[in-house]
Amino acid sequence: MNTKQIIEEAESNLIHTYNRYQIVLDKGDGVRLYDTDGKEYLDFGSGIAVFALGYNNKEYNDALKAQIDKLIHTSNYFYNEPAAKAAKALTSASGMDRVFFTNSGTEAVEGAIKLAKKYAYLKDGSTDHEIIAMEHSFHGRSMGALAVTGNKHYQEAFGPMIPGIRFAQFNNLASVKELVNDKTCAIIFETIQGEGGVYPAKKEFIEGVRKLCDEKGILLILDEIQCGMGRSGSMFAFQQYGVKPDIVTSAKALGCGVPIGAFMATEQVAKALVPGDHGTTYGGNPLACAAAVEVFRLFDKLNVTDNVKNVGKYLETQLKSLVEKYDIVKAQRGMGLIQGIELTVNPKDVIAKCLDNGLILFSAGTNVIRFVPPLVITRDDVDQMMVRLKKALDEVSQNV
Ligand SMILES: *Cc1c(COP(=O)(O)O)cnc(C)c1O
């Protein structure tokens, strides 16, 4: 099929839940993607913060192929070696004690919510516990994850949401304190808000919420689906704050392309779930777990977090310079290789121009361009990205 035929076939058969760019991606290599017409794109989106190792990494591909030839699925009624190894890698990397594997980030959030509810139920026997979430957060699209997602637009048509969810302002400890009551069983937020516009948590906020949780016997759930797995410059972003959550969620870069997510918890919390409480058919299957095992091995081998700290600093400096240079660039925010620039114009206009120039970027919130490149990028890749981005910003600036 040619490009036009593929787009027509997709448009006439898929449910129209996305306004897609008129581009058909065909293959990838390193930090570059190629469309069906052979055009090259520098990828600073990684398929939404997923492809941390870059495309077509031979060792990663070989590990997957080997597992495909061995065993792809078993069900959770049996053990398999990749799941055992992936669980060990995750507990070591996060400092948490136990892991439950899912197929997506959304399911990891669902599991985290269920775990928090069960833990609270075992403590007081009541079944009307509440959760505090944050405005402008994003935790997924299923009914539980959507209920804690602080975006009215995503929720409106799908009500009623699960009850007992209250929204505080991110980075505003007083607004959280106001909502706490005897029924509060958990507080959930992203250590760095991604979809909401790239807002890192303030240190005082995380520390304050942790203290509040300890005083009131509330669980702290950190959603690190986007900012975890090395993206912030440490394996998990909370590690840079010196604060430990009770439950953490992971996904996106965990499998670097193969769908896998996880929620992790401390021993004390994790033991609230017993056989029969929660389950999944695919979660923890050998193929997905083999991907995660290989991701951890390659992160180690390639010193990925060191690269993120180094190149992330450089990217941050480059993006900061845009605030000086362009009237339409208002601010820069981020940590490591999750960065954003806030614009005074619609980011979609800049992103469309970037695509013309061979650069893939995603927006976040209503006025932010997000930079979530593969974690193996070099300073040279950043320089090339800046050339393409500046060209787009020049063009859009001229039309303002
Ligand atoms: C992407 C994302 C999710 C949802 O993950 P899916 O794999 O799309 O289900 C949840 N939380 C955060 C912070 C995310 O960035």
Q: Are 372 and 361 in contact (CB under 8 A)?
A: no
Domain's final residue, options 301, 319, 354? 301
Q: Give the model confidence (pLDDT) of 105-152 as tens digits.
A: 999 999 999 999 999 999 999 999 999 999 999 999 999 999 999 999
pLDDT of 225: 98
pTM strictly above 0.95: yes
* Distance (Å, whole) CA 210 – CA 326: 39
Do 127 and 154 belong to one domain?
A: yes
The neighbouring-strand residues paired with 222 are 189, 248
Phi/psi at 168 (5° precision): -105, 175
Q: What rounded mean pLDDT belongs to the chain?
A: 98
Ligand 1 midpoint to CA 100 (Å):
16
336 pLDDT higher than 90 = yes
pLDDT of 173: 98
Choose the residue to mutate in 134, 188, 249, 252 for probing ligand 1, maximizing ligand atoms within 8 Å of C-beta.
Answer: 252
Do 198 and 77 belong to one domain?
A: yes
Q: Give the chain's domain count.
A: 2
Do 176 and 285 belong to one domain?
A: yes
- 24 is written with which tokens? 């058909």
Do 279 and 359 belong to one domain?
A: no
CA–CA distance from 279 to each of 71, 137, 263, 275 (Å)?
20, 26, 13, 9
How many helices (H) and strands (E) are present in the chain, helices listed first? 14, 17
317 pLDDT higher than 90 = yes
- 317 is written with which tokens? 């400096």
191 lines ligand 1 (CB under 6 A): no
Q: Give the model confidence (pLDDT) of 166-197 as tens digits.
A: 999 999 999 999 999 999 999 999 999 999 99
- Write out the residue range of the structural domain in which residue 311 sits: 3-53+303-397
Q: Are 354 and 220 in contact (CB under 8 A)?
A: no
Do 221 and 164 belong to one domain?
A: yes
Do 125 and 151 belong to one domain?
A: yes
Ligand 1 midpoint to CA 104 (Å):
7
pLDDT of 340: 98
Do 273 and 319 belong to one domain?
A: no
Do 64 and 147 belong to one domain?
A: yes
pLDDT of 396: 97
Domain's final residue, options 253, 271, 301? 301
Do 356 and 392 belong to one domain?
A: yes
221 lines ligand 1 (CB under 6 A): no
Q: What is the mean pLDDT of residues 200-218?
A: 98
Q: What is the mean pLDDT of residues 17-46?
A: 97
CATH of the domain at 47: 3.90.1150.10
Determine how β-strand 199-200 pairs with β-strand 192-193.
Answer: antiparallel
Which residue, judged by its Cα, is nearest atom 11 of ligand 1?
139
Do 139 and 70 belong to one domain?
A: yes
263 lines ligand 1 (CB under 6 A): no
CB burial readout 63-80, b (16+ within 10 A) else e: bbeebeeeeeeeebeeeb
Ligand 1 midpoint to CA 47 (Å):
12
332 lines ligand 1 (CB under 6 A): no
Q: Give the model confidence (pLDDT) of 238-260 as tens digits.
A: 999 999 999 999 999 999 999 99
Do 66 and 32 belong to one domain?
A: no
CA–CA distance from 340 to each of 25, 388, 391 (Å)?
24, 16, 18
109 lines ligand 1 (CB under 6 A): yes
Ligand 1 midpoint to CA 312 (Å):
22
Q: What is the mean pLDDT of residues 194-211?
A: 98
- Strand order through the sheet with 362-364: 329-335, 338-343, 368-371, 362-364
138 lines ligand 1 (CB under 6 A): yes
Domain's final residue, options 254, 286, 301? 301
Phi/psi at 62 (5° precision): -65, -40
Do 33 and 181 belong to one domain?
A: no
400 pLDDT higher than 90 = no
**Percentage of the chain modeled with pLDDT above 90:** 100
* Distance (Å, whole) CA 192 – CA 138: 11
CATH of the domain at 130: 3.40.640.10
* Distance (Å, whole) CA 388 – CA 378: 16
Q: What is the mean pLDDT of residues 367-379?
A: 98
Q: Give the model confidence (pLDDT) of 65-76 as tens digits.
A: 999 999 999 999
User: Residue 84 — pLDDT band, cuts 50, 70, 90?
Assistant: very high
